[in-house]
C-alpha cells in the first residue's frame, strides 16, 4: 500500500476513490484516528488518474472575491434553525424550485456526517446547522455526474476541500458549468471516530439513546453555541463549549485532522463560486446600521456565483467592503496553528484509543481554566462528576441517588 499524496496533505475528499478504474484505493486509518487514501500497489495499473485529479497534488483554480454581502434569509422559519443567516437553506429552497438538485451534509444513524444529493425539499432540514466533524463525501462526485448527465443542474454546498475536489472532477469531465459550488469558511474537522466515541460515552453515561444532535442548538440561540443531544423530543444533554470535551477540543483547534493545520483553502482566494460564513467584523470598515444578529457573509468569487445570487428572491443582502470580512475571519487568511497539545493528544490517542480518556488527560485542565471564568457550585459539581470521577464510581453514586429517591 502506498500513499497517493504525502502524509498530512490528504483531506480524504475521496475523489481518487471515485475515479480509480481498478477500485484499488483503500482507506488507511492511522492509530491517531486520522485516515488517508492509499493505493494497493498489487492491483494498481499505474494509469495515474488518481494523481491527476487529486486536489492536494494539483493547482486548484481559485479566485479573489469580487464582492461581499452581509445577508440573511427573509424566511423567518428557515432563519430560526440555521447556524447564522440561513443562507444555505434559502439557496437550497430556491434552486429546488427551479428544478435543480442539491447537495448537502446530514447525520446518518451513527452520527457520521455524510454528503447526500437530493431533489426533495424535505431533506433541507437535515442539511441545516453545522456539523463540526469530518464529513464523508463517499461517491458523491459520481452521483452528481449521473444527475448532470440527465440534463439537471446541481447546487453543491460543502467544505472547501470537498468543493475543490468537486471542482476538479467537474472541470476534468467538462460539466463545471452545470454545477454551482458554494464552500463554507472552515476552521477544521476532527476525525469522525472522535465524535462517535464522544457520543457513545455520553449515551453510556446517561443510559439514554441519542437521536438528535446540535453544535449550535437554535432553541437556545445559535450564537450561544450550546451543544445539545436529544433522545427523541427529550433534551438529554446541554453544554456550553467549555463544558464539553469534544466541543472544547474542536473550538480550541486541538483535535483536527493533520491536513487541517496545513489547509490549502484557508486563504482569501476561493475555490468556489460563492463562499458562506458567519459575518465576523460586520461594520468595522464602514458604518452598518442594519440587522446584526444571525447575519451571514457571502463572498462572490465568480460571475457564475454573482448570476446565481442575483436570481435568489428571498435573500436580504447588503453589499459591504470586500476587505471587511477578509481582514477579520481567520480562515480567510491562514489555517489554525498546531498547538503543542495537538501532538500530545494524538500520541496519547495512538496508545489508548479512547477520546474521553485522552481528552481528559491532555486538555481537561485547559477547559477547566476556561470554565473558571463563570463557574458556580452546580457547574463545579457537574464537572467533577463528569470529567474526574471514574465511570465505575459514577455508576455507584447514581445507583445510591436513585435508591434514595425511590426510598
Ligand atoms: C466544519 C465547519 C467549520 C466552519 N467554520 C467556520 C468558521 O471558521 N468561520 C465561519 O464564519 N463559519 C464557519 N462555518 C460556517 C458556518 O457555521 C455556517 O454554516 C455558515 O455561516 C452558513 O450559515 P447558514 O446559516 O446558512 O448555515 P447552516 O444552516 O449551518 O448551513 C449548513 C450548511 O452547511 C453544510 N454543512 C454542515 N456541516 C457540514 C460538514 N461537516 N461538512 C460539509 N458541509 C456541512 C450543510 O450541508 C448546509 O449546506 C463552518 C461550518 C462547518 C460545517
Ligand atoms: S494509478 Fe490508476 S489504477 Fe492505480 S490507484 Fe491510481 S487511479 Fe487506481
Ligand atoms: S484525491 Fe482526496 S482522498 Fe485521494 S489522495 Fe487526494 S486528497 Fe486524498
Ligand atoms: S480545514 Fe481545510 S482541510 Fe480541514 S476540513 Fe476544512 S477545508 Fe478541509
Q: Quick one: 32 and 144 in the same domain? A: no
Is residue 166 domain-shared with residue 281, that is, in the same domain?
yes
Exposure of 311 by Cβ count < 10 A (0-12 exposed, 13-18 middle, 19+ buried)? exposed
Among 7, 259, 329, name the best residue to mutate to test ligand 4's pocket (greatest count of ligand atoms within 8 A of Cβ): 259
Domain for residue 157, yes or no? yes
Q: How far is the CA of 221 from the centre of ligand 3 (A)?
A: 37
d(CA 80, CA 185): 21
Report if residue 151 sits inside a domain. yes
**Strand-strand pairing, 101-107 and 25-29:** unpaired
Q: How far is CA 230 from the centre of its chain?
A: 20
User: Do residues 71 and 40 both lie within one domain?
Assistant: no
366 located within any domain: yes
| Ligand 3 in reach of 198 Cβ (< 6 A) | no
Kindly state whether residues 147 and 35 are assigned to the same domain: no
CA angle centred on 201, ends 112 and 162, rounded to 5°? 20
**Gap between the Cα atoms of 279 and 329, Å rounded:** 8
Say if residue 152 is in the same domain as residue 249: no
Whether 265 lines ligand 4, by a CB cut-off of 6 Å, is yes
- Picking from 14, 30, 53, the residue at the C-terminal end of a domain is 53
Q: How many CB atoms lie within 10 A of CB 333?
A: 12
Query: Are residues 344 and 328 located together in one domain of the fold?
Result: no
Walk along the chain (407 residues) and give the pLDDT tens digit of each residue.
899 998 789 999 999 999 999 999 999 999 999 999 999 999 999 999 999 999 999 999 999 999 999 999 999 888 877 777 899 999 999 999 999 999 999 999 999 999 999 999 999 999 998 999 999 999 999 999 999 999 999 999 999 999 999 999 999 999 999 999 999 999 999 999 999 999 999 999 999 999 999 999 989 988 889 999 999 999 999 999 989 999 999 999 999 999 999 999 999 999 999 999 999 999 999 998 887 778 999 999 999 999 999 999 999 999 999 999 999 999 999 999 999 999 999 999 999 999 999 999 998 777 777 776 655 555 555 655 555 555 556 556 655 554 443 22
Residues 242 and 356 both lie in one domain:
yes
> What is the structure's pLDDT at 383?
55
Where is the domain boundary, 332, 357, 378?
Answer: 332
**Smallest-distance ligand from the CA of 20:** 2
Q: Residue 390: its pLDDT value, please?
A: 57
Q: Considering the entire predicted model, what is its pTM?
A: 0.91
Q: Do 166 and 156 contact (CB within 8 A), yes or no?
A: yes
Show which of 310, 332, 354 is a domain's final residue. 332
Which DSSP string do the residues of 236-288 spell out, in sequence order?
A: EEEE-GGGSHHHHHHHTT-S--HHHHT-TT-SSSBSSSEEEEE-TTTTSSS--
Does residue 363 share a domain with residue 231? yes
Query: Do the strands 234-239 and 274-278 form a parallel or antiparallel pair, or are they unpaired?
Result: unpaired
* Atom number of ligand 4 nearest to Cα 11: 3
* 60 within a domain of the structure (yes/no): no
Residue 217 falls inside a structural domain: yes
Domain limits for position 14: 2-53
Question: Do 291 and 145 fall into the same domain?
Answer: yes
Nearest CA to ligand 4 atom 8: 161
- 236 domain-assigned: yes
Residue 131 located in a structural domain: yes
Which atom of ligand 3 is nearest to 12's Cα? 3
What are φ and ψ of residue 286, in 5° steps? -135, 160
Same-domain pairing of 138 and 73: yes
pLDDT of residue 379: 56
185/275 same-domain check = yes
CATH number for position 305:
3.40.640
Three cell numbers at 19? 475515479
Q: Are residues 309 and 280 in the same domain?
A: yes
Give domain status of residue 268, yes or no.
Answer: yes
Where residue 19 sits, what CATH number does that domain have?
A: 3.30.70
**Centre of ligand 2 from the C-alpha of residue 19, in Å:** 8
29: DSSP letter: E
Q: How many CB atoms lie within 10 A of CB 234?
A: 11
Element (H, E) at 213: strand 212-214
Tell me which residue has cell 486538555. 363
Q: How many independent structural domains does the chain possess?
A: 3
Amino acid at each position: 500500500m502506498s500513499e497517493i499524496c504525502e502524509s498530512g496533505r490528504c483531506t480524504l475528499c475521496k475523489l481518487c476513490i471515485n475515479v480509480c478504474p481498478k477500485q484499488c484505493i483503500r482507506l488507511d486509518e492511522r492509530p491517531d484516528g486520522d485516515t488517508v487514501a492509499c493505493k494497493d500497489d498489487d492491483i494498481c495499473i499505474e494509469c495515474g488518474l488518481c494523481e491527476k485529479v487529486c486536489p492536494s497534488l494539483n493547482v486548484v483554480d481559485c479566485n479573489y472575491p469580487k464582492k461581499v454581502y452581509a445577508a440573511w434569509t427573509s424566511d423567518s422559519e428557515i432563519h430560526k434553525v440555521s447556524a447564522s443567516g440561513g443562507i444555505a437553506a434559502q439557496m437550497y429552497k430556491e434552486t429546488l424550485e427551479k428544478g435543480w438538485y442539491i447537495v448537502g451534509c446530514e447525520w446518518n444513524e451513527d452520527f457520521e456526517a455524510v454528503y447526500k444529493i437530493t431533489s426533495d425539499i424535505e431533506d433541507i432540514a437535515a442539511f441545516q446547522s453545522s456539523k463540526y466533524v469530518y464529513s464523508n463525501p463517499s461517491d458523491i462526485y459520481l452521483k452528481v455526474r449521473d444527475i448532470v448527465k440527465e440534463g439537471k443542474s446541481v447546487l453543491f454546498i460543502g467544505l472547501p476541500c470537498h468543493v475543490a475536489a468537486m471542482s476538479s472532477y467537474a472541470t476534468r469531465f467538462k460539466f463545471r458549468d452545470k454545477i454551482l459550488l458554494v464552500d463554507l469558511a472552515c476552521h477544521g474537522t476532527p476525525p469522525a471516530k472522535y465524535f462517535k466515541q464522544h457520543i457513545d460515552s455520553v449515551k453510556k453515561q446517561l443510559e439514554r439513546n441519542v437521536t438528535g444532535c446540535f453544535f449550535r442548538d437554535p432553541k437556545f440561540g445559535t450564537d450561544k453555541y450550546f451543544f445539545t443531544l436529544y433522545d427523541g423530543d427529550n433534551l438529554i444533554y446541554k453544554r456550553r463549549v467549555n463544558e464539553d470535551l469534544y466541543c472544547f477540543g474542536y473550538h480550541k483547534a486541538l483535535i483536527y485532522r493533520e491536513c487541517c493545520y496545513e489547509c490549502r483553502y484557508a486563504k482569501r482566494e476561493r475555490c468556489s463560486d460563492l463562499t458562506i460564513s458567519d459575518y465576523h467584523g460586520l461594520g468595522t470598515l464602514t458604518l452598518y446600521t442594519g440587522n446584526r444578529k444571525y447575519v451571514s457573509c457571502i463572498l462572490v468569487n465568480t460571475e457564475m456565483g454573482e448570476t446565481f445570487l442575483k436570481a435568489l428572491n428571498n435573500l436580504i443582502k447588503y453589499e459591504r467592503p470586500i476587505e471587511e470580512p477578509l481582514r477579520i475571519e481567520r480562515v480567510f487568511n491562514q489555517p489554525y496553528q498546531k498547538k503543542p497539545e495537538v501532538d500530545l493528544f494524538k500520541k496519547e490517542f495512538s496508545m489508548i484509543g479512547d477520546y474521553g480518556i485522552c481528552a481528559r488527560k491532555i486538555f481537561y485542565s485547559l477547559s477547566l481554566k476556561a470554565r473558571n471564568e463563570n463557574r458556580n457550585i452546580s457547574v463545579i459539581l457537574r464537572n467533577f462528576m463528569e470529567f474526574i470521577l471514574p465511570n465505575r464510581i459514577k455508576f455507584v453514586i447514581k445507583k445510591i441517588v436513585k435508591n434514595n429517591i425511590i426510598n
